[in-house]
Structures are given as C-alpha cells and as structure tokens.
C-alpha cells in the first residue's frame, strides 16, 4: 500500500512534469491505454454532474486525413489572408483586446519558444511552419477533439477544463505527454464534419497525445510561473 508521502510525490510529479510537448515520437498508443486514461479523467467534477464533454479520438487514417485538410486550409489562408474570415472560432478563447500583464506573458511565451528554435521576428516562413506544427498534432500518433453542446453555460467550460486537465495528468502518470491546443478552434467547420459531430456540438479544443521526443530541443522549453504571492490574497 502506498504511503501518504508516496501519493503526494506521485501526484505532484504528474502535475509538475506536465508540459505542452511540441514533438512526439511515432510510438503508437493503444486504444486500451487511451480508454484507461479517459476513464480516470471522467471522474472530473462538473456542476450538478452534467459531464458536458464529448471526446473524439483520431488515429491512423482519420488523424492523417484531418491533418491534410486543415494544413491545406492553413496554406490557403497564407496565400490569401482574406480567407481567414471563413475560419472564425465559435467562442472567444482569447480576449478581443489584450491588457497587461496578460499580453506581456503571451509575448514572453511566444518569443521564448521562437528564440529557442532560432526563429527571428522577420522570419515569417519559419513562423508559418512552426504554427502549422499544431495542425500536424506535433507528429503525435493520437489527436483528441473535444466538443460541447453550446446550450451549456460558461460554468460548463470551467468543468471542461478540469476534465482536460485530468486527461493530461492521467497521461503523464503513464509516461505519456500531451499538448492542449486552441489553435484548432478556427477550423471547426472542417473538423466537426470530419469527426462526425452532431449539429448541437461546438469545438472546445484539440489535444495531442503520445510519447514525447526527448531528443527534440523544443521539448526543453519551460514556461515560467508567477510566484504564489503574486496571485494569492489572504483575506483575514
């Protein structure tokens, strides 16, 4: 039987070793293992136990053909930026107007990653290619797409975040890595028909799942966190 300290160490390790992996190996992930992860993750709390999530798992041909479709749309937008108007998110993941400190953290994150990869501000070609890595699931063999019925309120998106976090931690406990991706959201008009989603479903996000390529330097990128004292207010 595990001791309390061993349980703490295991949970803490899953949380602190989780990262957004951006390079994966081709080692397959079995359906049994994916099912196990989803079963554990389904214990996430949700308001009045609504469990608002629907999960679509893509592997093999279904994964590859979606990659081809979305990458083609991404390339078309590059050739004709006006086409971006055809691909709008179903909900605002990011604010319409950025303010500090959030915009500062966003910039720090973006230029930190690009700096590690040697991509300069004027290097539009490499920026485009790195952005497109999102739509290849960073070569992960498994892609997950998450949907919700848009009748659900904002609180259900809070519930959804806990569910996706559970997936990432359960995967991590089994030696896998993940990358949650809002980048897919603009291409919902391609994705939802591809996965067979019903009319009453909205794309929440995608997620790459697999075994991280430890030899790729992109996976050495670590995002900073502000100190606890900066976001905690003790109310006496």
What is the per-residue pLDDT across 51-63, written as a single tens digit (0 to 9) for each? 999 999 999 999 9
Residues 22, 179 contacting (CB under 8 angstroms): yes
pLDDT band at 236 (very low <50, low <70, confident <90, very high): very high
* CATH number of the domain within which 82 lies: 3.40.109.10
Residue in the structure block whose two tokens are 């003790």: 234
- Give a yes or no: residue 130 inside a domain: no
Residue 115 lies in a domain: no
Domain ranges, residue 24: 17-95+135-221
Q: Does the pLDDT value for residue 99 go beyond 90?
A: yes
232, part of any domain = no
Report how many domains make up the chain.
Answer: 1
* Helix extents (H) in the chain: 4-16, 31-41, 60-79, 102-116, 124-132, 154-173, 188-195, 228-231
φ and ψ at residue 230, rounded to 5 degrees: -80, -25
> What is the band of 199 on the pLDDT scale with cuts at 50, 70, 90?
confident
pLDDT > 90? residue 2: no
Domain presence at residue 44 = yes
Q: Tens digits of per-residue pLDDT, 10-26? A: 999 999 999 999 999 99
DSSP string for residues in 155-216: HHHHHHHHHHHHHHHHHHHTT-EEEEESGGGGGHHHHHHHHT--TT-EEEEEEEEE-B-TTS
Distance CA 167, CA 169 (A): 6
Q: What is the pLDDT of residue 150?
A: 95
Burial (CB count <10 Å: 0-12, 13-18, 19+), residue 52 = buried
With tokens 């919902």, the residue in question is 188
Asked if the model's pLDDT at residue 1 lies above 90, the reply is no
| Residue 108 counted as domain residue | no
pTM tops 0.85, yes or no: yes
Q: What's the pLDDT at 16?
A: 97
Residue 214 region by backbone torsions, left for phi larger than 0, else alpha for psi between -120 and 50, else beta: alpha
Question: Could you tell me if residue 29 is inside a domain?
Answer: yes
46 falls within a domain? yes
Is-contact 143 206, C-beta < 8 A? yes
Residue of 150, 163, 164 lying closest to 49 (CA atoms):
163
185 within some domain: yes
């Amino acid at each position: 039987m595990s001791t309390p300290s061993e349980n703490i160490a295991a949970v803490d390790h899953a949380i602190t070793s989780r990262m957004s992996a951006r390079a994966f190996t081709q080692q397959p992930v079995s359906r049994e293992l994916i099912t196990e992860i989803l079963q554990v993750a389904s214990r996430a709390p949700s308001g009045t136990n609504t469990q608002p999530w629907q999960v679509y798992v893509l592997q093999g041909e279904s994964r590859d053909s979606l990659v081809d479709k979305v990458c083609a749309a991404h390339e078309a937008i590059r050739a004709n930026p006006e086409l971006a108007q055809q691909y709008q998110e179903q909900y605002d993941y990011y604010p319409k107007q950025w303010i500090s400190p959030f915009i500062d953290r966003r910039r720090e994150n973006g230029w930190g990653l690009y700096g590690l990869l040697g991509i300069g501000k004027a290097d539009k070609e490499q920026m485009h290619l790195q952005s497109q890595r999102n739509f290849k699931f960073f070569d992960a063999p498994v892609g997950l797409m998450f949907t919700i019925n848009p009748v659900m309120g904002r609180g259900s998106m809070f519930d959804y975040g806990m569910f996706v976090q559970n997936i990432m931690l359960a995967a991590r406990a089994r030696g896998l890595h993940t990358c949650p991706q809002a980048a897919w959201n603009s291409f919902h008009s391609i994705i939802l028909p591809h996965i067979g989603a019903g009319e009453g479903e909205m794309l929440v996000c995608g997620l790459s799942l697999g075994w991280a390529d430890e030899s790729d330097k992109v996976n050495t990128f670590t995002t900073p966190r502000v100190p606890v004292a900066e976001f905690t207010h003790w109310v006496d």
